[in-house]
Structure 1
Amino acid sequence: LVPGAAAGPAATRWAGSGCRRCTCGGAQDAFLGRAATEATGEFVSGPYALEVLEDADHWLPELAADRVGELVTAHVRTHG
């Protein structure tokens, strides 16, 4: 996570919004590091779920569409 990258009005707006979020990340992602992916929960005040797909890379919607769909559907069913 880059210090200050999630600072400012946008970060404040997201952090206090109470929106429901399901974050999916690939453990083999060369573009978004695991630490950044795991830190996303610090900026969420509503229901939050983090799922790291160990065998996946950056292209989750394309290469793990079924699993991403399952995770998002389950999150929506649970949290509305």
Structure 2
Amino acid sequence: MFSEVRGLGLLIGCVLNADYAGQAKQISQEAVKAGVMVLIAGGNVVRFAPALNVSEEEVTTGLDRFAAACEHFVSRGSS
């Protein structure tokens, strides 16, 4: 699903691979349904920008929820 991760520390962007190009908005909508707020940059990058005082537990929970949202997106045919 992703071809590259850019950035440092907590401020990162995940670049969608060719199969999912242009679908960052739809993926971000799935993430919101899973309880994770992400940003988009163009149609091909999903960005994370958590509060700088976020705990490790909150990061883990957020990434688990984002992974579930991505799995749901892929399983329903990414339409």
Does the TM-score normalized on the shorter chain lie above 0.5? Answer: no
The structure that has the greater radius of gyration is: 1
- Give the structure, 1 or 2, with the largest relative contact order (CA under 8 Å, sep 6 or more): 1
Q: Of Structure 1 and Structure 2, which has the larger fraction of its residues in strand?
A: 2
